[in-house]
């Protein structure tokens, strides 16, 4: 059964295969502003070695600390991976607070499911499993956004209790309660 875990080196091979799937879809390029894109640009060249991948995992884990070094425009972020045994299925990021930009287009929670694992309920299960984590971080209602044309993501957010507030900059903005 899949579970949310902190980033771990034990799923490296499956993670690399997932990143290859994302690249085959065109993700990771210079114009990709997603989590996948920015991390691919920052760390992708080092993922091939176990040592480089371990550095990446440590950086993701450290980013959750309030006092971790980061650019002024970034906030603490808890990254969790959706895994089943040795298989990396997806990732989820919980941003501990919102900046003006995150309030407009990014939200508290962002997620990705690897292409070969899509349409199996992973995004729905992952988001639901993350809501108690967000509550423990002091987030009463999480802002979760999706592209206006992403019907699947909209259904995921709504199934978790998301209530549409509005559309801004091509993104639908939903508020999702983190406690039942």
What DSSP string describes 74-113?
---EEEEEEEETTEEEEEEEEESS--HHIIIIIBSEEEEE
CA distance 161 to 80: 21
Mean pLDDT over 170-174 rounds to 95
Distances (CA, A) of 177 to 29, 133, 143, 172: 34, 12, 9, 16
Domain boundaries, the chain: 3-139
Q: What is the mean pLDDT of the chain?
A: 94
What pLDDT score was predicted for residue 114?
A: 96
Mean pLDDT over 14-36 rounds to 88
Residue 180, pLDDT > 80, answer no
What pLDDT score was predicted for residue 11?
A: 97
What pLDDT score was predicted for residue 27?
A: 86
The domain 3-139: what is its CATH number? 3.40.630.30
- For the whole prediction, is pTM greater than 0.75? yes
């Amino acid at each position: 059964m899949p579970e949310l875990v902190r980033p771990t080196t034990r799923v490296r091979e499956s993670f690399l295969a997932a990143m290859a799937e994302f690249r085959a879809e065109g993700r990771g390029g210079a114009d990709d502003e997603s989590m996948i894109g920015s991390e691919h640009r920052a760390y992708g060249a080092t993922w091939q070695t176990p040592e480089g991948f371990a550095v990446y995992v440590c950086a993701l884990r450290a980013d959750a600390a309030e006092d971790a070094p980061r650019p002024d425009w970034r906030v603490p972020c808890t990254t969790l991976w959706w895994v089943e045994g040795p298989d990396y299925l997806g990732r989820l990021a919980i941003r501990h607070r919102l900046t003006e930009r995150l309030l407009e287009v990014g939200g508290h929670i962002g997620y990705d499911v690897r292409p070969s694992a899509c349409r199996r309920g992973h995004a729905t299960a992952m988001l639901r499993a993350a809501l108690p984590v967000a509550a423990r971080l002091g987030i009463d209602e999480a802002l979760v956004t999706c592209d206006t044309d992403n019907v699947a993501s909209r259904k995921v957010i709504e199934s978790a209790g998301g209530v549409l507030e509005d559309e801004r900059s091509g993104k639908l903005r939903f508020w999702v309660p983190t406690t039942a």
